[in-house]
Amino acid sequence: MTGTILDLYDDAALNSLKVEFNQIEKAAYNLPRENLDAIQSAPIKGGINKGAQTYTVKTITKLGMAKVVSEDAKDLPPVSLAVKKQTVEIRDVGDSYKFTRAELDGAAFNNMPLESLDAQAARQTIDEKVDEIIYVGEKNWGLLGLLTNPNVTKTIAANNAGNTSKKWKNKTLDEITKDIQTMVDAVFNATKGPRGTGTVTPNTIKIPRDAFTYLTTTYTGSDSKITYLDALKSKFAPQGITNWELCVSAGGIGKVSTDGDSDRALLYKKGEENVFSILPVAFRVLPAQFVGLSIIYNCLARTGGCCWRRPTTGVYMDGV
């Protein structure tokens, strides 16, 4: 550490400062991820080396069918996998926090603890950016998100009866039901087997904030205590939709359509076998850097966004 700002302090002061640094770094690592749910929406893919620069994703479509055969059959029908490989770049997401000489002097000589708010803000800012990338990708760096994969089927919400709006906040319960059924049918058609029966039952629907708020605050009648959301849960439970979730992110997730700023809903079969996020490093504080009269801690995460292994298990709906 020769030639750095820490040379200004004796051993006792240095030991005290090192304890402060360690406590602040630990607090940054342990900060909870509040109101950020992209990783829960697309589970982290395990086994990716922290230093990996790329990851090859295999997008899979199942082909072929089975049949009854004899005991000595030699002509068993093949089941092949149509595999499309795509190499995803893994990118760094970074920011930093620092302590000035005045702050270090206060901690070393005046028994004033170093402020940890900047370190916590650095952690939270990285979390929010990673969450945003996993949801909608990062176009400038070629990263795709849960809501922005071109291989996922896209549908458009129908106009309401007045033919003036596609948004759910302007629709009746029956009109919203038809939109959701359109999404269910799209997954069925994209995944049905050779005999015309569905092979995937979607279990999760993610709804943008404005639409979700409308569903939770609008009732089926003037004297009813049943919200639109309650009614929809009941209608679609037999079809396997058990998770009704709000799209939450600091990035204002939902307005991802190329058609103006229309909101996008997602219906899909949640599971790592279908869709996952690439996050080999969730958060890391790098060794201290000394610049002039400041000590700087650079922070980073590493992500490749969100990858759909089986894009036919999901469907987007724009305009909601």
The DSSP code for 271 is S
- DSSP readout, 32-72? --TT--HHHHSPBPTT--TT-SEEEEEEEEE--------TT
Give dist(CA 40, CA 74) in Å, integer.
45
Q: Where are the domains of the chain?
A: 5-62+93-145+276-308, 153-274+310-318
Amino acid letter, 29? Y
Per-residue pLDDT of the chain (320 residues; tens, 9 = 90+): 457 889 889 999 999 999 999 999 999 998 887 666 888 899 999 999 999 999 998 887 654 444 454 455 555 555 555 678 889 999 999 999 999 999 999 998 887 889 899 999 999 999 999 999 999 999 889 899 999 999 999 999 999 988 889 999 999 999 999 999 999 999 999 887 655 566 789 999 999 988 999 999 999 988 889 999 999 999 999 999 999 998 865 445 556 655 555 789 999 999 999 999 999 999 999 999 999 889 999 999 999 999 999 999 999 999 99
| Distance of alpha carbon 313 from the chain centroid | 17
Q: Which CATH architecture has domain 153-274+310-318?
A: 2-Layer Sandwich (3.30)
183 burial type by CB count under 10 A (0-12 exposed, 13-18 middle, 19+ buried)? buried
Provide the b/e sequence for 232-252 (b: ≥16 CB within 10 Å): bbeebeeeebeebebbbbebe
- Token pair for 292: 């002039």
The residues with which 266 forms a beta bridge, in sequence order, are 206, 316
Fold observed for domain 5-62+93-145+276-308: Major capsid protein gp5 fold (3.30.2400)
pTM, whole model, 2 decimals? Answer: 0.86
